[in-house]
Structure 1
Amino acid sequence: MRGTVVASMKVNRQVLIDNSQVFKAMMSSDGHWKETYASTIDMEVDNIPSVEVVLRALHGTMKEELYGASVSFPDVWEIIQFCSYRQIEVLKLKGWFAKWLENALKVKLDHDDLKMLLFPCYTFDHAKGFASMTKTLAYNSAEHTTEYNPTDYRHLHLDGNAIGGLNGARGSMRGKLLRGLFDPVAAFLEAKCDCKANALFAYHIGLSKTGIWPIHDHHKKSVQDILDSPGMINFQCTIPDGACSSCRSRLSSTKVTELRRKILNDFHGLCLDCMTMTKTGDIDSDYWDHDRMHEWDAGCRIQHSQPTWYFSYMGRKTDMKNHQKAMKRAK
Structure 2
Amino acid sequence: MSSDPEIKEITISSNADTEILIKEYTRGYSGEKKIAKCVLMKVEREKLLEAEYFRAMFGHGRWLESASHRVTLEEDNCTGMEVLLRSLHGTLKDMPLDSVTVPGTWHVIMSCDKYNVDQKSLSSWFETWWKHESQKEDTKDYYTEFSRKMMYPCFVFDYAHGFQSATKELVYESVGHITEKNPTDIGRMHLPPRIIQQINAARGRLRTILHKGLFETLGNLANDGKCSCKELTTFEYLREMARIHVWPLEDCMKAESINQMLERLRLFDATKMRKLTDPLSGKVRPCYYCNTSWDAIVLRAAKTVAEYFDGLCLDCMDISKDLRSYGDRDADYWEHNELEMWDTDCRIRHGEPTWYFSFMGRREKRGLIGD
Q: Smaller-chain TM-score range?
A: 0.7 to 0.9
1:111 aligns with 2:137: no
Specify which structure has the higher proportion of strand.
2
Check the 8 A contact 2:154/2:160 in 1, yes or no.
yes
Distance 1:297 1:289, change over 3 A: farther
Q: Report what 1:39 is aligned to.
A: 69
Equivalent runs, 1:92-241 vs 2, <5 Å: 92-107=121-136, 108=140, 109-190=142-223, 191-215=225-249, 216-229=251-264, 231-232=265-266, 234-237=268-271, 238=273, 240=275, 241=284
Aligned counterpart in structure 2 of residue 91 of structure 1, from 102, 112, 120: 120
Root-mean-square deviation over aligned CA pairs:
2.4
Check the 8 A contact 1:27/1:33 in 2, yes or no.
yes
Decide which structure has the larger Cα Rg and report it: 2
Specify which structure has the higher proportion of helix.
1
Check the 8 A contact 1:235/1:257 in 2, yes or no.
no
Q: Report what 1:272 is aligned to.
A: 314
TM score, norm. by length of structure 2 = 0.77
Check the 8 A contact 1:135/1:267 in 2, yes or no.
yes
Q: Deviations over 1:43-75 (max 9, x none)?
A: 1244212211111121111245532x2211111
- Structure 2 stretches lacking a partner, 5+ long: 8-37, 276-283, 364-371
Distance 1:263 1:232 in 2: 13
> Mean Cα displacement is larger for which, 297-306 or 38-47?
38-47
Distance 1:22 1:31 in 2: 13
Check the 8 A contact 2:245/2:252 in 1, yes or no.
no
Distance 1:298 1:309 in 2: 10
Deviation at 1:185, TM superposition (A): 2.7
Q: Which amino acid aligns with 1:55?
A: L
Check the 8 A contact 2:77/2:111 in 1, yes or no.
no
Q: Deviations over 1:126-163 (max 9, x none)?
A: 00000001000000111111111111221111125111
Q: Deviations over 1:248-292 (max 9, x none)?
A: 11x531122111111101000010001111124758789967754
2:71 match: secondary structure: coil
Check the 8 A contact 1:211/1:227 in 2, yes or no.
no
1:42 match: secondary structure: strand
Identity %, equivalent residues: 34
Aligned length: 312
Q: Which amino acid aligns with 1:301?
A: R
Q: Which amino acid aligns with 2:117?
A: I
Distance 1:273 1:252, change over 3 A: same
Distance 1:234 1:198, change over 3 A: closer
Check the 8 A contact 1:177/1:259 in 2, yes or no.
yes
Q: Report what 1:324 is aligned to.
A: none
Q: Which amino acid aligns with 1:248?
A: N
1:245 aligns with 2:288: yes
Check the 8 A contact 2:148/2:179 in 1, yes or no.
yes
Distance 2:45 2:116 in 1: 16
